[in-house]
């Protein structure tokens, strides 16, 4: 194997909105540094570039800086010398507002409302880089490209296309490579994949000789985490694979033909944004009393009424219903699926009741949770005459502070003037 480059998709929205909102990483820094060290050393030993997209989970500027810090430590520890490009993907709010006013922000599927107030209310907004910023960074002589939020596929397709590989196979191979050996028949442990792209096809296999890819395992990977299995939208066009064919080359490699890339008339950059929805406290409790379980829905309805009345008694006009939100989850009943749960009857001998209170401040969420504890503990049921304690609470204090909770607030694309406009690049020459 003589690879032309090493690529890595280091992030996703999959870990949730918290990471974009706060700049924290979903994986611990020692894990990230371990992986980064292997790739950077491999890149330098083979004199090939290392391309990393969606640095630090969400690919905001804080996370890009975090990864840059880890890279500098590795360069020193390993005695390396290299040129790194930092591709910034965090978006300026005034730039986005101007784009919005020009009508150059368009909605995607199932979008939330988007306006200037949403922009101002966001903690961070990133644009998802296409292939061009990676190519620009490589033209600039980068040995290592650390990119903020990037299209998973663009990381891999960018270098392949620079080296003359055709667009269709490059994007399709990239779509499989970006998940590593997730496309293998059995993924023993997360590991890498290798693709060889030629004029009208690509061959793909795992680096580990014991791991097998089959035509079905490779074909089915295009389903994973995509709403549409045949059309994958990128900044510069659409990867169209409805006519792709998959052929076993040997026991562990697959040849793919018929992948097409349809260039878009208009270049689009997907936005991701996160805002703080409030501050949360969570009370975990369990119910074992069969008399309570058999009337659980009624008990919970009465508890909600009682709570509202108690809040009114304590706070009067100073607390409006907009200041807090209470969500109950009942594990053993419908905690996982909510209203979509097909099983309507409770058959469990115990229930876990999670009460989650989100408020404008942490102290209000905590205070309301304190009121909840007392009301839930002692709400009577007709079967027992006298004071009951109907909820078992394992923690003391009974609530857990969750801190700020975030939400994704944008599902839109921007139409930039050029593919590089939203992604400034900064270069550093590092040596031990």
Positions that interact with other proteins (CB under 8 A)? 13-14, 16-18, 108-112, 215-216, 219-220, 222-230, 244-246, 277-278, 325, 327, 329, 335-340, 342, 356, 358, 405-408, 411
Q: Which is nearer to other proteins, 319 or 354 (CB)?
A: 354
126, 204, 201, 197: which is closest to 158 by C-alpha? 197
Q: Find out whether 53 and 151 touch, Cβ atoms under 8 Å.
A: yes
Q: Give the 3-state secondary structure of residue 62.
A: helix
Least CB distance from residue 245 to other proteins, whole Å? 7
Listed in sequence order, the residues at least 6 apart from 289 whose beta carbon sits closer than 8 Å to its beta carbon are 390
Q: Which is nearer to other proteins, 108 or 249 (CB)?
A: 108
138, 127, 193: which is closest to 162 by C-alpha? 138
Helix (H) or strand (E) holding 46: helix 29-46
Q: Which is nearer to other proteins, 170 or 222 (CB)?
A: 222
86, 63, 75, 79: which is closest to 36 by C-alpha? 75
Q: Measured at the alpha carbon of residue 156, what is the angle toward residues 154 and 157, in degrees to the nearest 5?
A: 65
The residue behind tokens 């399709």 is: 172
Least CB distance from residue 287 to other proteins, whole Å? 18
- d(CA 361, CA 358) in angstroms, rounded, equals 8
Least CB distance from residue 296 to other proteins, whole Å? 17
Least CB distance from residue 358 to other proteins, whole Å? 5
Least CB distance from residue 216 to other proteins, whole Å? 6
Q: Which is nearer to other proteins, 2 or 336 (CB)?
A: 336
Q: Which is nearer to other proteins, 277 or 430 (CB)?
A: 277
Least CB distance from residue 222 to other proteins, whole Å? 7
Q: Which is nearer to other proteins, 84 or 204 (CB)?
A: 204
Q: What is the DSSP string of 283-302?
A: EEEEE--HHHHHTHHHHHHH
């Amino acid at each position: 194997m003589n690879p032309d480059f090493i690529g890595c998709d280091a992030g996703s929205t999959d870990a949730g909105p918290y990471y974009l909102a706060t700049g924290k990483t979903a994986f611990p820094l020692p894990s990230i540094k371990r992986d980064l060290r292997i790739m950077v050393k491999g890149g330098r030993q083979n004199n090939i570039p290392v391309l990393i997209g969606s640095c630090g989970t969400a690919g905001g500027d804080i996370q890009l800086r975090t990864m840059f810090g880890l890279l500098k430590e590795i360069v020193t520890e390993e005695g390396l010398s290299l040129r790194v490009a930092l591709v910034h993907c965090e978006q300026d709010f005034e730039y986005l507002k101007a784009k919005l006013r020009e009508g150059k922000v368009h909605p995607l599927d199932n979008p939330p409302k988007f306006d200037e107030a949403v922009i101002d209310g966001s903690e961070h907004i990133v644009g998802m880089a296409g292939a061009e910023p990676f190519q620009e960074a490589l033209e600039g002589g980068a040995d290592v490209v650390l990119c903020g939020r990037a299209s998973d596929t663009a990381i891999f397709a960018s270098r392949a296309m620079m080296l003359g590989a055709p667009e269709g196979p490059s994007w399709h191979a990239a779509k499989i490579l970006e998940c590593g050996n997730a496309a293998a028949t059995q993924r023993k442990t997360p590991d890498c994949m290798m693709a060889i792209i030629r004029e009208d096809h690509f061959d793909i296999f795992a680096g580990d000789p014991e791991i097998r890819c089959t035509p079905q395992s490779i074909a089915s990977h295009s389903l994973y985490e995509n709403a549409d299995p045949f059309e994958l939208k990128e900044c510069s066009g659409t990867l169209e694979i409805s006519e792709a064919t998959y052929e076993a080359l040997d026991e562990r490699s697959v040849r793919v033909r018929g992948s097409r890339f349809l260039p878009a008339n208009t270049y689009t950059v997907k936005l991701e944004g996160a805002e703080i929805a409030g501050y949360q406290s969570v009370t975990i409790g369990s119910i074992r009393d069969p008399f309570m379980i058999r009337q659980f829905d009624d008990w919970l309805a009465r508890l909600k009424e009682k709570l509202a009345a108690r809040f009114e008694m304590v706070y009067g006009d100073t607390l409006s219903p907009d200041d807090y939100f209470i969500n109950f989850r009942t594990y053993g009943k419908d905690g996982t699926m909510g209203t979509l749960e097909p099983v309507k009857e409770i058959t469990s001998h115990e229930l876990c009741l999670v009460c989650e209170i989100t408020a404008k401040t942490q102290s209000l969420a905590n205070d309301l949770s304190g009121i909840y504890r007392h009301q839930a503990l002692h709400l009577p049921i007709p079967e027992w005459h006298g004071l009951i304690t109907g909820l078992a609470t394992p923690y003391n204090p009974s609530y857990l502070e969750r801190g700020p909770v975030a939400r994704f607030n944008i599902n839109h694309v921007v139409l930039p003037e050029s593919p590089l406009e939203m992604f400034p690049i900064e270069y550093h020459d590092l040596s031990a």
